[in-house]
């Protein structure tokens, strides 16, 4: 279980996270929604150890990861994977090498075993074998996301973080990616935190939804509870209402 | 007036802060070379990118530098009837100064800018963050091999520059202008001493490390998207060229 307790963060005097309290249950998909620029990715980066809070705690199975350093932090990172917004595939490596990268770096598996696992993941992502030798700049947006998901899953992590997994994709490809997240989650049972603003499509994968607004969690519940929430801020976001006064 | 003083002070603090940051960055990068994994394949890849791919520009620059040195040197020495010293003049100029400095500037323009752009793009596309989240130290995977490659490749390129420059000088001085081949090389052998060669090697080591350090640092801390990468690349070329010249003065005064 992941718990965020009273998390505060400012950048150059501007408060971005103002006392976040959030629980991400084990084995379920929690989606964090909110307007663009509200701090969803900043929250995610605190949980994966890329940022340190000004105040507060991030507990993963009871361990405060915001205080971890060096080898202990590296050890923690072995238990999770991240699907970054743009995929973050390594430009100088082809698809096969990108997916194989975590296994080659972190395990002593023979190359034949690595190749077998990579091809299994490619199949799972409905990518053909001829994609293996392509480089990231030769892939479409949807293919990049699927390769990135294959790389995230290759070490069978306990937790996967998705940073806006379908941003920039067309509706059919977005549905494909959400379907793959559902499929892999059902097969592996990993804990997932998804940062997104794609309403209502993202609700199809969510077990829980939390909404971030002005640095705080203003709503938390099932997709149905969020969609029927009485808070006008939540309703305004869900309905996609324009607000020129918001920064 | 107050605003001017304030901006000078602020800029000075930024420069000192950046210089300190670079030193810490260098120490971390070099320290990581002493702990496994040592990544020899990555180092070889970087030697290929920084060294081998700079070869053509180094050969061209060296050839023309040697040719110009011979041309200028011949007509100056002829006034004193000392054309026979052309070989010494060309060799000493190249080995002590022109070789290390021009190699440094060419490598900074070609490889330094490429390194900054590569790492800067990795930064803005979150590839460095991806490495971090996979428990792979991005400093160790990306930066350390480049620093080691710079230390290896730049002195080798400098040596190649010196040889090519001497050959370029030979082409003009001996073949075109009629200086005796024997006096060209014997003068060189008599006047070039180990201190000259050692000084050139030390300069090339310092220049190589400086150029790649600046390139890696600027790329690693790039911000603000594509514009940030462009700005960082520009800063790398300018700053590393200036530092090469500054280090050249310091090291020359040390060796003289």
Quote the CA–CA distance of B184 and B65 in Å, as a whole number.
17
Range of the domain at B160: 43-255
In this complex, the residue of B126, B135, B136 whose CB is nearest that of residue A88 is: B126
In this predicted structure, what is the pLDDT of residue B68?
97
A12-26, A225-239, B79-93, B127-141: segment of lowest average pLDDT: A225-239
Place of tokens 């309703």: A235
Asked if residue B201 has pLDDT above 90, the reply is: yes
In this predicted structure, what is the pLDDT of residue A233?
84
**Nearest C-alpha neighbor of B211 from the set B112, B98, B117, B103:** B112
pLDDT tens figures, A161-200 = 999 888 888 888 888 888 888 888 988 899 999 998 777 8
The answer to whether residue B102 sits within a structural domain is: yes
The answer to whether residue B85 sits within a structural domain is: yes
Q: Which two tokens stand for residue A36?
A: 């663009």
The answer to whether residue B132 sits within a structural domain is: yes
Quote the CA–CA distance of A12 and B146 in Å, as a whole number.
33
Mean pLDDT of B194-211: 95
**Nearest C-alpha neighbor of B111 from the set B70, B68, B154:** B154
**Chain B contacts of A91, Cβ < 8 Å?**
121-122, 125, 127
Tell me the shortest Cα–Cα distance from B211 to chain A, in angstroms.
22
Q: Do A88 and B134 count as a contact with CB atoms less than 8 A apart? A: no
Residue B115: CB partners within 8 Å, gap ≥ 6?
B50, B146, B212, B215, B216, B219, B236
In this complex, the residue of A75, A78, A88 whose CB is nearest that of residue B129 is: A88
The residue of chain A with its CA nearest to that of B123 is A88
Query: Considering Cα of B8, then B10, then B16, then B22, what sign does the dihedral take?
Result: negative
Split into its structural domains, chain B has a count of 1
Quote the CA–CA distance of B211 and B88 in Å, as a whole number.
29
The answer to whether residue B90 sits within a structural domain is: yes
Model confidence band, residue A243 (pLDDT cutoffs 50, 70, 90): low
Quote the CA–CA distance of B63 and B78 in Å, as a whole number.
22
Mean pLDDT of A57-72: 85
The DSSP element (H or E) to which A194 belongs, if any, is strand A191-196
The answer to whether residue B11 sits within a structural domain is: no
A33-37, A132-136, B185-189, B229-233: segment of lowest average pLDDT: A33-37
How crowded is residue B235: how many other Cβ atoms within 10 Å of its Cβ? 16
**Chain A contacts of B126, Cβ < 8 Å?**
84-86, 88
The alpha carbon torsion through B15, B18, B23, B25 (nearest 10 deg) reads -170
In this predicted structure, what is the pLDDT of residue A247?
46
In this predicted structure, what is the pLDDT of residue A21?
92
In this predicted structure, what is the pLDDT of residue B31?
94
The DSSP element (H or E) to which B247 belongs, if any, is helix B225-255
The DSSP element (H or E) to which A80 belongs, if any, is strand A80-83
Place of tokens 């202990």: A72
Residue B85: CB partners within 8 Å, gap ≥ 6?
B77, B187, B191
Q: CB of A178 within 8 A of CB of A201?
A: yes
Mean pLDDT of A91-115: 95
Model confidence band, residue A61 (pLDDT cutoffs 50, 70, 90): confident
Mean pLDDT of B235-256: 93
How crowded is residue A99: how many other Cβ atoms within 10 Å of its Cβ? 28
Model confidence band, residue A241 (pLDDT cutoffs 50, 70, 90): low
What is A2-239's CATH topology? Rossmann fold (3.40.50)
The residue of chain A with its CA nearest to that of B130 is A88
In this predicted structure, what is the pLDDT of residue A235?
85
Residues 54-93 of chain A with CB under 8 A from chain B are 74-75, 77-78, 80-82, 84-86, 88-91
Asked if residue A245 has pLDDT above 90, the reply is: no
**Nearest C-alpha neighbor of A43 from the set A73, A3, A12:** A3
Model confidence band, residue B244 (pLDDT cutoffs 50, 70, 90): very high
How crowded is residue B31: how many other Cβ atoms within 10 Å of its Cβ? 12
Residue A65: CB partners within 8 Å, gap ≥ 6?
A47, A49, A58, A59, A73, A76
In this predicted structure, what is the pLDDT of residue A28?
93
The answer to whether residue B32 sits within a structural domain is: no
Mean pLDDT of A220-239: 86
Quote the CA–CA distance of B115 and B146 in Å, as a whole number.
8
Place of tokens 């390129």: B157
What proportions of chain A, in percent to the nearest 5, are helix, strand and coil?
A: 40, 25, 35
Asked if residue B125 has pLDDT above 60, the reply is: yes
Mean pLDDT, all residues of chain B = 95
Q: Could you tell me the pTM of the whole model? A: 0.90
Q: Which two tokens stand for residue B114?
A: 């490429």
Quote the CA–CA distance of B161 and B156 in Å, as a whole number.
9
The DSSP element (H or E) to which B57 belongs, if any, is helix B55-78
In this predicted structure, what is the pLDDT of residue A199?
79
Q: Which two tokens stand for residue B160?
A: 């190649």
Mean pLDDT of B176-195: 93
Tell me the shortest Cα–Cα distance from B124 to chain A, in angstroms.
9
User: Is A107 in the B-facing interface, judged by CB distances under 8 Å?
Assistant: no
- Angle between helix axes B194-220 and B2-32 (nearest 10 degrees) is 110
The answer to whether residue B229 sits within a structural domain is: yes
In this predicted structure, what is the pLDDT of residue B256?
65
Quote the CA–CA distance of A129 and A123 in Å, as a whole number.
8
Q: CB of B245 within 8 A of CB of B101?
A: yes
In this complex, the residue of A84, A91, A105 whose CB is nearest that of residue B129 is: A84
In this predicted structure, what is the pLDDT of residue A66?
79
Spans of all domains in chain A: 2-239
Quote the CA–CA distance of B235 and B217 in Å, as a whole number.
11
Complex prediction ipTM? 0.88
**Chain B contacts of A50, Cβ < 8 Å?**
129, 132-133
User: Is A162 in the B-facing interface, judged by CB distances under 8 Å?
Assistant: no
């Amino acid at each position: 279980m992941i718990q965020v307790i009273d998390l505060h963060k400012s950048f150059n005097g501007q408060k971005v996270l103002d006392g976040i309290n959030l629980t991400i249950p084990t084995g379920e998909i929690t989606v964090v929604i909110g307007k663009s620029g509200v701090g969803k990715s900043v929250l995610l980066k605190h949980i994966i150890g890329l940022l340190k809070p000004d105040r507060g705690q991030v507990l993963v199975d009871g361990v405060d990861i915001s205080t971890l350093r060096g080898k202990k932090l590296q050890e923690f990172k072995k238990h999770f994977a991240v699907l970054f917004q743009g995929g973050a595939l390594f430009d100088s490596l082809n698809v096969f090498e990108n997916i194989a990268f975590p296994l080659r770096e972190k395990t002593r598996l023979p190359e034949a075993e690595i190749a077998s696992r990579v091809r299994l993941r490619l199949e799972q992502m409905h990518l053909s074998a001829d994609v293996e030798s392509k480089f990231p700049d030769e892939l479409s947006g949807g293919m990049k996301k699927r390769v990135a998901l294959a790389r995230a899953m290759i070490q069978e992590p306990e937790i996967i973080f998705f940073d806006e997994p379908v941003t920039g994709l067309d509706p059919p490809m977005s549905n494909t990616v959400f379907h793959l997240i559902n499929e892999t989650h059902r097969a592996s049972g990993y804990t997932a935190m998804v940062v997104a603003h794609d309403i209502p499509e993202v609700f199809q994968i969510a077990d829980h939804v939390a909404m971030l607004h002005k640095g705080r969690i203003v709503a938390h519940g099932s997709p149905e509870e969020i969609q029927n929430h009485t808070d006008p801020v939540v309703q305004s976001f869900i309905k996609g209402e324009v607000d020129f006064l918001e920064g | 007036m107050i605003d001017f003083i304030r901006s000078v002070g602020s800029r000075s603090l930024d420069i000192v802060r950046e210089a300190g940051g670079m030193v810490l960055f260098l120490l971390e990068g070099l320290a990581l070379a002493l702990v496994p994994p040592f990544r020899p394949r990555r180092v070889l890849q970087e030697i290929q990118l920084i060294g081998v791919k700079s070869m053509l520009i180094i050969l061209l620059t060296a050839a023309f530098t040697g040719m110009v040195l011979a041309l200028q040197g011949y007509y100056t020495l002829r006034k004193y009837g000392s054309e026979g010293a052309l070989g010494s003049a060309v060799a000493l100029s190249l080995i002590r100064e022109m070789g290390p400095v021009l190699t440094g500037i060419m490598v900074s323009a070609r490889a330094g800018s490429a390194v900054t752009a590569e790492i800067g793009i990795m930064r803005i596309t979150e590839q460095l963050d991806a490495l971090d989240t996979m428990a792979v130290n991005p400093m160790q995977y990306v930066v350390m091999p480049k620093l080691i490659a710079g230390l290896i490749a730049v002195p080798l390129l400098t040596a190649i520059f010196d040889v090519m420059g001497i050959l370029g000088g030979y082409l003009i001085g001996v073949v075109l202008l009629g200086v005796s081949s024997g006096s060209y090389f014997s003068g060189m052998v008599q006047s070039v001493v180990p201190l000259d060669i050692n000084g050139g090697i030390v300069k090339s080591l310092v220049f190589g490390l400086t150029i790649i350090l600046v390139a890696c640092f600027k790329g690693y801390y790039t911000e603000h998207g594509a514009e940030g990468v462009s700005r960082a690349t520009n800063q790398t070329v300018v700053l590393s060229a200036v530092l090469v010249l500054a280090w050249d003065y310091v090291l020359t005064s040390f060796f003289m």
